[in-house]
Amino acid sequence: MNKNIKIILWIIFIGLIALASYSLRPMKNIQNSEVENTVDINSDLIIVGFSQLGSESDWRTANTKSIQNALTKKNGFSLIFSNGRQSQENQIKDVRSFIFQEVDYIVIAPVTETGWDTVLKEAREAGIPVIIVDRMINTDDESLYVACVGTDKYAEGEKAGIWLEKYLEEQKSEENVTQENESLSEETASQEENGLNTEVINIVVLEGTPNSTAQIGRSKGFEDIARKHENWNILAQDSGDFTKAKGKEVMAKYLQEYDDIDILVSQNDDMTFGAIEAIQEAGLTCGVNGKIKVISFDAVSEAFDRMEDGLINVDIECNPLQGQLIAELIERLEKGKKVDKVSYVEEKVFKAENAGIERIGRSY
């Protein structure tokens, strides 16, 4: 055989062996564009799949970072993160992907409360414990999740109502001081003794995403306080979907429909920022010295700026720093210890007059 032909055949043979060897190599995990980490099956790390509902607000960003910072490899975890982009359908796909990847735990921040039973039953059948974070799910079978970590949304709504009660009482007291040389009529005195104020207080509410835990809890908490006051008149309640753009849109509509708004209750800061823009563009004022008093929720850093500027009267904290508590719960479960079904993080109420001092040392 010609020497050159032998050389060519030998090269072809070597090439075929190399190709066969490459085809038999195990394929690496293909990383989904929404996933930050992939499962390392040879690792001793605790593998956690986390489906975040979206990135609709500064609060949500802080919540995501808190969980990512807690569930690190340094702390003994391997985190698979996915952004649900405000879609329950996406989140259900996330959970099924986590089940397929055989993670050790699944963490979900659900976009809405209902519609989770089927996929969580699949997780239970796969033997994967589920932790609900930030919001709750509505189910008759509480065995579908081992724990819920978050904030008390009902209590947040109550705190907003209690602040308004005290604020109106203080305003009434200041009016009385200016009239200290005048005597009250018997009828007015009777009303004062019963804690009543005959002046009608007109309120509009910017609600969050319909059927979300935050929207349900904050609405009910505030309404339960409002029902105690016959003169509190809730003019309108509509969803701003927890976004600045939608909050501005709905507030602009309110201002066109009503010319006697006294109080704005906005169920998150981003909607509040949009509402403030709408108020200012309408030529009106808001906040401490403004016509419309503003109650907001979340207490993110920019909200403290607005309180210092006098544009927001009070902000009810919704603490996003929940990652460490989630990590502690998982570590307890790993040791076979019991955990509380529901765990809340600490929350405060921040008033405009103290915002400059109370923001010191805050991380969000």
Residue range 197-224, pLDDT digits in tens: 458 999 999 999 999 999 999 999 999 9
The helix/strand/coil state of 46 is strand
pLDDT score recorded for residue 364: 87
pLDDT at 13 over 70: no
In this prediction, residue 180 has a pLDDT band, given cuts at 50, 70 and 90, of low
In this prediction, residue 177 has a pLDDT band, given cuts at 50, 70 and 90, of low
pLDDT at 176 over 50: yes
Q: Could you tell me the two tokens for 284? A: 């009106």
Q: Could you tell me the two tokens for 360? A: 């010191």
Choice among 59-63, 88-92, 98-102, 185-189 with the minimum mean pLDDT: 185-189
pLDDT score recorded for residue 172: 84
In what side-by-side order are the strands of the sheet with 232-239? 232-239, 201-207, 263-266, 293-298, 314-317, 349-351
Domains of the chain: 46-151+321-344 (3.40.50.2300), 153-173+192-318 (3.40.50.2300)
Q: Find, among 172, 156, 129, the residue nearest to 329 by Cα.
A: 129
Secondary structure letter of residue 111 according to DSSP: S
pLDDT at 324 over 90: yes
What is the rounded distance in angstroms from the CA atom of residue 345 to the CA atom of residue 325? 8
Question: How are beta strands 77-83 and 46-52 bridged, if at all?
Answer: parallel
Q: What angle do CA 254, 255, 257 make, to 5 degrees?
A: 65
pLDDT at 320 over 80: yes
Q: How confident is the model over 23-37, as pLDDT tens digits?
A: 433 333 323 334 445
